[in-house]
């Protein structure tokens, strides 16, 4: 009797184990369990998932709507070499290594997501020893019936290590991505005290009425337009131009183009601009005709 009971227990145990194994291996059963208990997360709304059409926090100098996961960060290094590529012969340019021998305006930035969809950033440029403190709130993200992403911007910058010539900026970034290939940007920004630090930012504009313009206009409203396209794999091209809609507007609108390569969490951009300004106020002050400066951006994300 005991042997029969022991044998029956063994049979029941074996049948139960077999059924359990078949249930675990059955994909239909597994799919049914997932769909009825807990839905899969919406990966497209995960800030840690790279949008291949928007791989960096800037186009060339203008900000993008790229998000950072909470408490994650990004480091950015900028160089704008002082040699004018449109001055002198090709031999002259080659002899100075295309402007590299003439020094560079160097900047570095560290930004971190201090709250969901909110970033705070510190940027320092050797250009007039300017420090910019700025923030971005990514209010709307493109998905479904929402055709664009929208971010709000606020900034304050000061020269001489944030001791003088303060210039506040307020604006927004409106973007639209097209698949994983193209991203387009519209960036209206108002900048106060845009006529500050004129001697450092003139770029030989050749305008004799700077002092008169400075007295009439102390702010600038600019509307930046930019785009980035992914050519193949992790290779991109980007371009931007920043016309001034009203206010203080010396020289030509600032513009820039770049050729880019993304390697893992790194983004390297070889840039060509008509200004070596990189902060909101510096870019709002414009560039100069007949100039082109070689430079680069190097970004590193810590996700």
Residue 63's CATH number: 2.40.160.40
Q: Do 7 and 106 reside in the same domain of the chain?
A: no
Q: Confidence class of residue 273 from pLDDT cuts 50, 70 and 90? A: very high
* Residue ranges making up the domain that contains 28: 2-37
> Do residue 235 and residue 294 come from a single domain?
yes
- Which pLDDT value is given to residue 197? 59
User: How far, in Å, CA of 259 to CA of 257, rounded?
Assistant: 7
- Integer CA distances (angstroms), 217 to 100, 140, 194, 204, in order: 35, 33, 8, 20
If asked whether residues 270 and 296 sit together in one domain, one would say: yes
191-219 pLDDT, tens digit per residue, is: 999 987 554 444 444 454 444 444 455 89
Largest CA distance in the chain: 114
| Chain segment 78-96, per-residue pLDDT in tens | 999 999 999 888 888 888 8
Helices of type H across the chain = 2-25, 27-37, 90-95, 159-162, 198-201, 210-216, 280-284
- What are the pLDDT digits (tens) for 162-201? 999 999 999 999 999 999 999 999 999 999 999 875 544 4
Mean pLDDT for all residues in the chain: 84
Q: What is the pLDDT confidence band of residue 298, given thresholds at 50, 70 and 90? A: very high
Does 83 fall in a domain?
yes
Instruction: Give the helix ranges, DSSP H, for 68-158.
Output: 90-95
Q: Is residue 43 assigned to a domain?
A: no
Residue 44: inside a domain:
no
Number of domains in the chain: 2
Same domain, 20 and 96: no
Q: Tell whether 113 is covered by a domain.
A: yes
pLDDT, average across residues 134-143: 96
97, 217: one domain = yes
Lowest mean pLDDT among 3-7, 62-66, 150-154, 229-233: 3-7
**171 and 277 co-located in one domain:** yes
Least Cα distance to 254 among 221, 227, 224 occurs for 224
The pLDDT value recorded for residue 92 is: 80
256 and 210 in a common domain: yes
Looking at residue 233, what is its pLDDT? 94
Same domain, 117 and 209: yes
Q: pLDDT, tens digit, for every residue of 102-113? A: 889 999 999 999
pLDDT tens for each residue of 12-52: 444 444 444 444 434 444 444 444 444 434 444 688 899 99
Residue 242 lies in a domain: yes
* 63 pLDDT more than 60: yes
d(CA 177, CA 179): 6
What percent of the chain is modeled with pLDDT above 70? 78
């Amino acid at each position: 009797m005991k042997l029969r009971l022991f044998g029956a227990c063994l049979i029941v145990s074996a049948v139960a184990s077999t059924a359990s194994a078949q249930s675990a291996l059955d994909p239909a059963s597994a799919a049914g369990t997932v769909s009825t208990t807990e839905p899969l997360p919406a990966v497209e709304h995960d800030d840690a998932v790279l949008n291949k059409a928007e791989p960096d926090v800037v186009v060339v100098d203008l900000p993008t709507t790229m998000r950072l996961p909470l408490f994650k960060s990004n480091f950015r290094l900028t160089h704008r070499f002082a040699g004018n590529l449109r001055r002198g012969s090709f031999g002259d340019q080659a002899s100075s290594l295309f402007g590299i021998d003439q020094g560079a305006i160097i900047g570095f930035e560290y930004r971190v997501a201090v709250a969901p969809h909110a970033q705070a950033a510190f940027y320092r440029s050797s250009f007039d020893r300017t420090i910019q403190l700025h923030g971005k709130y990514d209010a709307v993200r493109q998905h479904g019936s929402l055709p664009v992403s929208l971010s709000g911007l606020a900034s304050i910058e000061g020269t001489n290590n944030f001791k003088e010539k303060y210039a506040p900026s307020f604006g927004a970034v409106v973007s639209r991505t097209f698949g994983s290939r193209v991203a387009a940007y519209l960036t209206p920004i108002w900048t106060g005290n845009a006529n500050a630090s004129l001697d450092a930012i003139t770029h030989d504009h050749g305008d004799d009425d700077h002092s008169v313009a400075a007295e009439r206009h102390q702010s600038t409203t600019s509307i930046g337009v930019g785009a980035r396209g992914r050519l193949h794999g992790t290779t991109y091209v980007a371009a931007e131009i920043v016309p001034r809609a009203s206010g203080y507007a010396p020289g030509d609108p600032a513009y820039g183009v770049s050729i880019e390569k993304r390697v893992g969490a790194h983004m390297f951009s070889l840039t060509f601009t008509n200004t070596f300004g990189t902060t909101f106020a510096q870019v709002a002050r414009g560039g100069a005709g007949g100039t082109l400066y070689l430079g680069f951006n190097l970004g590193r994300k810590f996700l």
